[in-house]
Amino acid sequence: MNWDFKVTKNLESKIKKTDFDNLAFGKDFTDHMFIADYKDGSWTDCRIVPFEPIMMHPAAFVLHYAQSIFEGLKAELSPNNDILLFRPEENAERFYKSAERLAMPPIPKDLFLESIHKLIEIDYEWIPKGKANSSLYIRPFLFATDPVLGVRVGETFRYMVILGPVGSYYSAPVKVWIQDEFVRAFPGGTGEAKFAGNYAATLQPVLEAQKRGCAQILWTDGLTHSYFQEIGTMNIFFVIDNTILTPELNEGTILRGVTRKSLIVLAQEMGYKVEERKITVEEFIKAVEEHRVQDMFGAGTAAVVQPISGFVYKEKEYDLTNLDREISQKLKAKLEIIKKGEIEDTHNWMYKIELNKNSQSN
């Protein structure tokens, strides 16, 4: 479908006021944003407008019933200054399924890709240049706007995309708290959707984790607290006896990470044994105590590949700072050169943004 995009340019860019040498994550935003509205059964009024606060009715569904989903992906520059996205079709598919799970009208995949493409065409100069671990973060999100109180399926929605230059999500290896009290997701719930409420429910437990010197929580299953799920901001990987292990996805409790999926493919191609299965806390603790763990790392769009420096379980601390890390380092290096277009894209993973000079910033 051909989508008609109306573009209103920002009269004055704030790019010169942005310190690209000291980028935090999620604090700086570009000059424009994309908006589309859903009403009368269809997506309409696709527009790119100056970045600014949005007006919202006090009774808007999203404020009362948390009907909101989001995605996250990045744009980077190749050595030839091509603008590249990593597997955005996977994000489009996951966004579509998340919307279905939350009873929201799914965003057509061509609209998802085109909205990102058109917005980057205008704000492409915001992509960090020559900055290690920096990129242009892309945040599509969808929320209910019905101005009516009462729990029911909504009728009006808004889809938006915002962009922002970012640095590293984590500035150092992460220590985690293996949780056996709080619950993130149950089978049949919303665990595999990018649902805003999933993240809100983790905030108070994260405060408890911080009291234990941990940055994040490694969640376990809600029924027995015996099996690992994910880290909330990342999927989790273990390397035990030279085998890469990661929790299987068949219960709908774990986010289907694009980075996770890609690392599994790369690891297998590099000759590593990979198992997607239930991983018990007990077997992992035993492997740690027997010095059979070579690596432990998280994986996600924001964090990419993040080493886990240690963990707390039942108030006992375990230090993992001396692990080998060879496998995660090799996987991260291979993934990064693919994302930056430095080697041939044999998987057809990269999406190139072709600039339309008529759409670029003044």
Helix axes 109-123, 88-101, angle to 10 degrees: 130
- Whether the predicted pLDDT of 303 surpasses 90: no
CB burial of 48-79 (b: ≥16 within 10 Å; e: otherwise) equals: beeeeeeeeeeebbbeebbbbbbbbbbbbbee
In this predicted structure, the answer to whether residue 318 has a pLDDT above a threshold of 80 is yes
- State whether 243 and 149 are in the same domain: no
* pLDDT band with cut points at 50, 70 and 90 for residue 357: low
Is 127 found in the same domain as 40?
yes
Would you state the pLDDT for residue 361? Answer: 45
Q: What is the DSSP string of 270-304?
A: TT-EEEES--BHHHHHHHHHTT-EEEEEEEETTTE
Three-state SS string over 218-279 comes to ECECCCCCCEECCCCCCEEEEEECCEEEECCCCCCCCCCCHHHHHHHHHHHHCCCEEEECCC
* DSSP letter, residue 195: B
| Other CB atoms within 10 Å distance of the CB of residue 347 | 12
* Token reading at 97: 């399924």
Give the helix/strand (H/E) hosting 61: helix 61-65
- Is residue 234 pLDDT above 70, yes or no? yes
In this structure, the answer to whether residues 281 and 192 fall within a common structural domain is yes
pLDDT at 358: 58
Last residue of a domain, one of 149, 168, 187: 168
pTM of the model: 0.95
15 CB-near residues (< 8 Å, 6+ apart): 30, 31, 125, 126
For range 195-205, the mean pLDDT: 95
The count of C-alpha atoms lying within 13 angstroms of the C-alpha of 264, restricted to the half-sphere facing its C-beta, is: 18
Q: Are residues 96 and 206 in the same domain?
A: no
Residue 133 lies in domain:
6-168
Which helix (H) or strand (E) element contains residue 135? strand 135-144
How far apart, in Å, are the Cα atoms of 320 and each of 291, 292, 294, 297, 309?
10, 12, 9, 11, 5
pLDDT at 270: 97
223 shares a domain with 123: no
pLDDT digits (tens, 9 = 90+) for 1-34: 778 999 999 999 999 999 999 999 999 999 999 9
Contacts of 41 (CB under 8 A, 6+ apart): none
Whether 112 maps to a domain, the answer reads yes
| Residue range 28-63, pLDDT digits in tens | 999 999 999 999 999 999 999 999 999 999 999 999
Residues 40 and 80 in one domain: yes
Q: What is the mean pLDDT of residues 76-83?
A: 93
Give strand pairing partners of 236. 298
Report which of 185, 263, 180, 285 is spatially closest to residue 224, judged by C-alpha positions. Answer: 180
Residue 322 lies in a domain: yes
Are 133 and 64 in a shared domain?
Answer: yes
308, part of any domain: yes
User: Would you say residue 93 has pLDDT above 80?
Assistant: yes
Tokens of 303: 């964090």
Whether residue 73 is found in the same domain as residue 222: no
Confidence of residue 279 (pLDDT cuts 50, 70, 90): very high
Q: How many domains does the chain have?
A: 2
**Predicted local confidence at residue 102, as pLDDT:** 97
Is 281 in the same domain as 208? yes
Residue 312 pLDDT > 80, yes or no? Answer: yes
| Cα 140 from chain centroid (whole Å) | 11
Decide if 348 is inside a domain.
Answer: no
Confidence of residue 362 (pLDDT cuts 50, 70, 90): very low
What is the rounded average pLDDT of the residues 329-351? 95
Residue 213 lies in a domain: yes
* Residue 231 and residue 260 share a domain: yes
Same domain, 305 and 185: yes
Q: What percent of the chain has pLDDT over 90?
A: 92
Q: Which two tokens stand for residue 147?
A: 């101005």
Rounded mean pLDDT of 70-89? Answer: 96
The contacts of residue 12 (CB under 8 Å, 6+ apart) are none
Cα separation, 289 vs 292, in Å, equals: 8
Q: Are residues 246 and 156 in the same domain?
A: no
